[in-house]
Structure 1
Amino acid sequence: MFLLLVPGLAYFLVFHYGALVGNVIAFKEYVPFDGIWRSPWVGLGNFQRMFEDGEFWHAVFNTLWIAVLQLVFYFPVPLALALLLHSLTWSTVRRFVQSVTYLPHFISWVIVVALFQQVLGDTGMVNSYLGDAGLSTVDIIGNPDAFKPLTVLQVIWKDAGWGTIIFLAALSQVDEQQYEAAAIDGAGPWLRFWHVTLPAIRPVIVLLLILRLGDILSVGFEQMLLQRDSVGPGAAEIIDTFVYYQGIVGGDYGFAAAAGLFKGLVGALLVYAANKVAHRLGEQGVYR
Structure 2
Amino acid sequence: MEMANTQPLEGVTLTKQRTGTNRYIRDFIANKYLYLMMVPVLVYYLIFHYAPMYGALIAFKEYSPMKGILGSDWVGFKHFHDFFSSFYFWRILKNTLVISLYSLIFEFPAPIILALLINEVRSKTFKRVAQTITYMPYFISLVVICGIITDFTNADGVINNIAMSFGYDGQAMLQKAELFRPIYILSEIWQRIGWESIIYIAALMSIDTEQYEAARMDGASRWKQMMYITLPGIMPTIAIMFILRMGNLLNVGFEKIILLYNPVSYETADVISSFVYRKGLLEFGWSYSSAVGLFNSIINLILLITANYISRKVNESSLW
Q: Shorter-normalised TM-score: what interval?
A: over 0.9
Map 1:110-189 to 2 at 5 A: 110-128=143-161, 136-189=169-222
**Aligned counterpart in structure 1 of residue 266 of structure 2, from 201, 210, 233:** 233
* TM-score, structure 1 normalization: 0.94
Q: 1:5 to 1:34 in 2, by over 3 A?
A: same
Q: Distance in 2 between matches of 1:136 and 1:229?
A: 20
**Aligned counterpart in structure 2 of residue 243 of structure 1, from 261, 276, 282:** 276
Alignment match, 1:223: 256
Matched, 1:268 2:319: no
Query: Which runs of 5 or more structure 2 residues have no equivalent in the other structure?
Result: 1-32
Greater relative contact order, per chain length (Cα 8 Å cut-off, separation 6+): 1
Q: Deviation at 1:132? A: 9.8
What amino acid maps onto 1:263 in structure 2? N
* Higher Rg: 2
Alpha carbons 2:311, 2:317 under 8 Å: kept: yes
Matched, 1:84 2:117: yes
4+ residue runs of structure 1 moved beyond 6 angstroms? 129-135
Q: Deviation at 1:41? A: 0.2
Identity of aligned residues (%): 37
Q: Distance in 2 between matches of 1:67 and 1:133?
A: 29
Q: 1:134 to 1:51 in 2, by over 3 A?
A: closer
| RMSD of equivalent CA atoms | 2.0
Query: Which runs of 5 or more structure 1 residues have no equivalent in the other structure?
Result: none
Q: 1:29 to 1:127 in 2, by over 3 A?
A: same
Q: Distance in 2 between matches of 1:84 and 1:131?
A: 32
- Once the two structures are superposed, what CA deviation does each residue of 1:139-188 show, in whole Å capped at 9, x if it has no partner? 32221101101100010010000000100010001111111212222222
Alignment match, 1:22: 55
Alpha carbons 2:61, 2:287 under 8 Å: kept: yes
* TM-score, structure 2 normalization: 0.85
Q: Deviation at 1:128? A: 4.8
Alignment match, 2:10: none
Q: Distance in 2 between matches of 1:280 and 1:156?
A: 30
Q: 1:134 to 1:245 in 2, by over 3 A?
A: closer
Alpha carbons 2:174, 2:265 under 8 Å: kept: no
**Aligned counterpart in structure 1 of residue 246 of structure 2, from 208, 213, 220:** 213
- Once the two structures are superposed, what CA deviation does each residue of 1:4-23 show, in whole Å capped at 9, x if it has no partner? 43333222111111001110
Q: Distance in 2 between matches of 1:228 and 1:139?
A: 12
SS at match of 1:284: coil
Alignment match, 1:259: 292
Alignment match, 2:139: 106
Q: Deviation at 1:229? A: 1.4
Q: Distance in 1 between matches of 2:113 and 2:167?
A: 38
Q: Distance in 1 between matches of 2:78 and 2:279?
A: 16
- Once the two structures are superposed, what CA deviation does each residue of 1:79-106 show, in whole Å capped at 9, x if it has no partner? 0111111122221221111111111111
Alpha carbons 1:122, 1:141 under 8 Å: kept: no
What amino acid maps onto 1:154 in structure 2? S
Aligned residues: 287
- Once the two structures are superposed, what CA deviation does each residue of 1:205-224 show, in whole Å capped at 9, x if it has no partner? 01000100000111211110
